[in-house]
Structure 1
């Protein structure tokens, strides 16, 4: 019998919100590093119902996500059992929704089928080296967007998604939209 060892941690490759996309962020992997300079689309979410779609690097389970001021979202997948890489949930904004206006953080957790938790992605990181050390313990992730760079310890969640809810401008007074072709994430 051959036993496989899985010491690769899954990561969230893409997050989108809206059938007509209002938010999109995607991580690129070059074989050594994950990179993502920022969301390719980040438009304010006005009143309405939105589909949140999460795509992972490998099949995952126990997917959970929350938005501050709102709480947890219920995700489901239409992929076959054991192959679930894409999950969706519905987000209601306005009306009876408890979500508050302003910048909100979407935080995602999950684990792969071997029980490895998500690679920790901090909202300020633009490049991360997810390589495992020879001992099987994961290397610290390095934030390269700070000056000077410093390591971030494993947190097992993707906190990389600042969403705008409510008014059509950001707290800085500008709506943010970058065409999808301008950035991979």
Structure 2
């Protein structure tokens, strides 16, 4: 008897945080921990991690397309031009997380991204400079590979004016964009499997 594609996906051993939600499983299987080198995508993920603060990641995933619509596809140049009218409009948008502070932090973050670009500083190069372009590997048993580094990155992002970039958020972002590979030892995506 042939196993259906759905049953194959369910039979895979994943990191426990992926749970049984199909959206979380797909995110784990296809995105989480895959090294991202695109500056815009790195910035988008950092902004979404900021929106996640105090909430579950699945909440952000379920709203991600609405966020993309609301923030012009996370095009930093377009987001940087957003003003108070846009903030008020977004505060009425039930498709996103309606936090004034987080919305304003995203707009400010787009402006910082643009300032870096204007100085000739690529956001992707900036991000990956902290790991010398390499993926840091956890031990698969809960020992984080870049926890101390997340504090250093957090401090530098804050120094530049970014908000919602504390060490915990930054570490989750590092995992999401593949700067850190923390897939569990039994996970089919783990480098240790």
| TM-score of the two chains, using structure 1 as the length reference | 0.25
| TM-score of the two chains, using structure 2 as the length reference | 0.25
By percentage of residues, which structure has more helix?
A: 2
